Structure 1
Amino acid sequence: MKKKLTEPQALNRIAAYCSRTERSEFDVRKKLAAWELEADIADRIVDRLKKERFLDDARFARSFINDKMKFNKWGRTKISFELRRKNISPAIYEPLLEELSGDEFEEQLLHILSVKVKSVKAKNDYERKTKLIRFALGRGFGMDMAIKCVNKLLGGDYEETSP
């Protein structure tokens, strides 16, 4: 049988968990729930972590956006979707995403598409462009930016048409 954690033990463990990397309140509450702590104890722990600045959703969102953009090469749509999944308020992350210029996302998309184009097998240019656009959409970039970057990369005018 597993020994139940006391409040000070849980606080120490979760503080160590938060000090390793930025965490969202959602992640911390999920961890506390997995330890089967009562809701009022979890609330006190979360309040204390916020007061002692171990936990800050704005700081987490800034770090998350930076990491996902630089290391995972995600677009604006995918980043905002993942932040919503972690219960981060749009009021927190929308201004952070607005700070980033569209040029940064465009340069990033051009780079990943230039790498991807080498491995895409297609019968014709239309099919190649369609596959690249689908790839860009899957990475969280908008349709307009995807079409613009594919056209820059492969030339020509790709127009979205329905089959």
Structure 2
Amino acid sequence: MPQLDFSLWPPQLIWLAITFTALYFIMARVALPRIAGVIEHRRDRIANDLDRAQEFRDKSEQARADYETALKEARGQAHSIAQETRDRLASLTERQHAMSEAALANKIEEAEASIAATKAQVLSRLDEIAVETAGQVVESLIGKAAKAAQIKKAVSEAITAQGGGAAND
């Protein structure tokens, strides 16, 4: 093989120089610019993707902040509505309680008046009832009716001795 014949080495050096020069120019003019273009294109695309990702991140952060603001406002409104409802219910309950108390107070006054009237009626008839009862007791004990004047006098003395009867409420 002539390529491996080292006795003719000067032409091999010339061909080596020609081949390396040709390879250098092909690489420098064709392959390396294409590779540099591809690398530059990838670098631009990566930078563009990173910029878009940052934009999306900023938008999502803004949307999150808007959401939190809206949520905070909604909570505030819900709290104020709940407080307003509690106040309204408390006012209504208080008003109904006052009305119930007034109605109960009126019923109590009516009952007290009725009791006082009944008590006055009973106390006014107490002497009369005592006289009738004493007359019946005397009649059942002795078998004979006693005089009304004597029974009335005895009942009056007994009531006076105990503290006044109808006059003592």
* TM bucket normalised to smaller: under 0.3
More helix as a share of residues: 2
TM-score, scaled relative to structure 2: 0.22
Which structure exhibits the higher relative contact order, with contacts defined as CA atoms closer than 8 Å and separated by 6 or more residues?
A: 1
TM-score, scaled relative to structure 1: 0.22
Structure index of larger Rg: 2
